[in-house]
Amino acid sequence: MPTTSDVRAIQRARLTSVGLGTPVTPDGGGVAGVVARLGAVQSQELHSSAWGVAQRLATPATLAGVQGALADGSILRTHILRPTWHYVVPEDLAPLMTATAPRVRKAMLSAERPRGFDHSLLPRRHAVIAEALADGPLTRKEVGVVLAEAEGAPVDTWHLGQVMMHAELDLLVASGPMRGKQATYRLLPEQKTWAVDVPRVHLARAYVRGHGPCRAEDVAWWGTLTKTAARAAVADAGLTRHELAGLTLWTDGDLPEPAPAGTVRLLSVFDELFCHDFKGGRP
């Protein structure tokens, strides 16, 4: 088992890889550069997730800057990796979603079965939503109105949320620009089809790039993969293996330089560091 000093050394290296020792990207990369470096950023809380992105820039972004990236589509907010919101850049959307959507759907079933959620209605409902969004982004409430008009009856709030989550998992929709305090959905262009194992390898590289040194088990948790699938993906991803303190850890190159001692950051409770920091052998 790793000692306390071993764990602290790994944590300090991870501070560097997650962009809290030094900025993830020079300001030229901006908000999208931070999200791309980390692979995906948990974002169920809009303000705190924007704060986390800002902390990783040499000149911190404002909330308006993060919302501007959502508006122009350089980052997207969608349910991906796990049944929660994340920021992701467009080029990572399809592979990450392809790798994780099957197990996210499986996780959603525990809530859907008791409520009688009817999956057979999804193709028709998604066709209605796609037609409506072809004219521009809509809020969830506006999507609900469109569906109610098409079906002759309102769709309750919970069912509408599930319908939209499935539309995200199908790569039909993702976030659009904020409308005041209201989020919107935009219609996505048709996405590239990926072979079965390629998206998992892409996911492994994305996670290790922004969170290493880490274990294959950390990749499994982040990507909602089985441990077997995660180990195979890491092995095929062309990463660098390190044997440290009795642990097999992975990076996308040399071990990161430890973050400088005495660095102070004010972080949200859902920051990537707290979601994925190495603690006694568990993410």
What b/e readout covers 96-121, taking b as 16+ CB neighbours within 10 angstroms?
Answer: bbbbbbebbbeebeeebeeeebeeee
For the entire predicted model, the pTM comes to 0.91
In a domain, 282, yes or no: no
Q: Residues 78, 218: one domain?
A: yes
Residue-level length of the chain = 283
Return the bridge partners of 252, or none: none
Span 144-185, pLDDT tens digits: 999 999 999 999 999 999 999 999 999 999 999 999 889 999
pLDDT category at 128 given cuts 50, 70, 90 is: very high
* DSSP structure class, residue 73: T
Place of tokens 């859902």: 270
DSSP reduced 3-state for 63: helix
Residue 24 lies in a domain: yes
CB 203 within 8 A of CB 39: yes
Question: For the chain, how many structural domains are there in total?
Answer: 2
Alpha helices in 55-176 (DSSP H): 63-72, 90-112, 122-133, 140-151, 157-169
Whether 79 and 216 map to the same domain: the answer is: yes
What pLDDT, in 10s, does the model give residues 186-244?
999 998 888 878 999 999 999 999 999 999 999 999 999 999 999 999 999 999 999 98
Q: Of 139, 166, 187, which one is at a domain's C-terminal end?
A: 187
Are 218 and 240 contained in the same domain? yes
Both 256 and 202 in a single domain?
Answer: yes
265 shares a domain with 206: yes
Regarding whether 136 and 105 lie in a shared domain, the answer is yes
Rounded (10°) CA dihedral 26, 31, 37, 39: 180
pLDDT at 283 over 50: no
Q: Is the peptide bond before 258 cis (omega within 30 degrees of 0)?
A: no
Does position 24 have pLDDT exceeding 70, yes or no? Answer: no
Other CB atoms within 10 A of residue 31 CB: 25
More confident residue, 125 or 277: 125
pLDDT at 281 over 80: no
Q: 271 vs 27, 168, 188, 192, 265, CA distance in Å?
A: 20, 23, 27, 30, 11
Helix/strand number for the chain, H first, E second: 12, 8
The answer to whether residue 283 is domain-embedded is no
Residue 52 lies in a domain: yes
pLDDT at 280: 39
Kindly indicate the confidence band of residue 23, based on its pLDDT and cuts at 50, 70 and 90: low
pLDDT at 142 over 60: yes
CA dist., res. 168 & res. 172, Å (int): 6
Q: Do 201 and 267 lie in a common domain?
A: yes
Range scoring the smallest mean pLDDT among 33-37, 38-42, 100-104, 279-283: 279-283
Band of residue 7 on the pLDDT scale cut at 50, 70, 90: confident
CATH number reported for the structural domain that contains residue 160 in this entry: 1.10.10.10
Q: Are both 128 and 79 inside the same structural domain? A: no
Rounded-to-integer distance, Cα 57 and Cα 61, Å: 7
| 179 in the same domain as 105 | yes
Paired strand residues for 78: 86
Are the C-beta atoms of residues 58 and 23 closer than 8 Å to each other? yes
Tokens of 133: 């969004």
pLDDT band at 11 (very low <50, low <70, confident <90, very high): confident
Average pLDDT, the chain: 90
User: Is residue 95 included in any domain, yes or no?
Assistant: no
Distance from C-alpha of 175 to C-alpha of 88, rounded to nearest angstrom: 10
Say whether both 183 and 113 belong to one domain: yes
d(CA 136, CA 42): 26
Is residue 144, in this structure, part of any structural domain at all?
A: yes
- Do residues 34 and 104 both lie within one domain? no
Interaxial angle between packed helices 46-54 and 30-38, expressed in degrees from 0 to 180 and rounded to the nearest 10? 90
Q: Is residue 252 part of a domain?
A: yes
**Alpha carbon of residue 102 to chain centroid:** 15
In a domain, 110, yes or no: yes
What is the structure's pLDDT at 282?
43
- Poorest-pLDDT segment among 66-70, 190-194, 230-234, 270-274: 270-274
Predicted confidence at residue 278, as pLDDT, reads 46
**Domain end marker among 141, 165, 187:** 187
Tokens 């002759």 sit on residue: 152
Same domain, residue pair 41 and 170: no
Give the least confident one: 78-92, 118-132, 257-271.
257-271
Q: Which of 145, 163, 187 is the last residue of a domain?
A: 187
Determine the Cα–Cα distance for residues 185 and 171; give it in Å rounded to an integer.
12
Enclosing domain of residue 24: 4-90+194-276
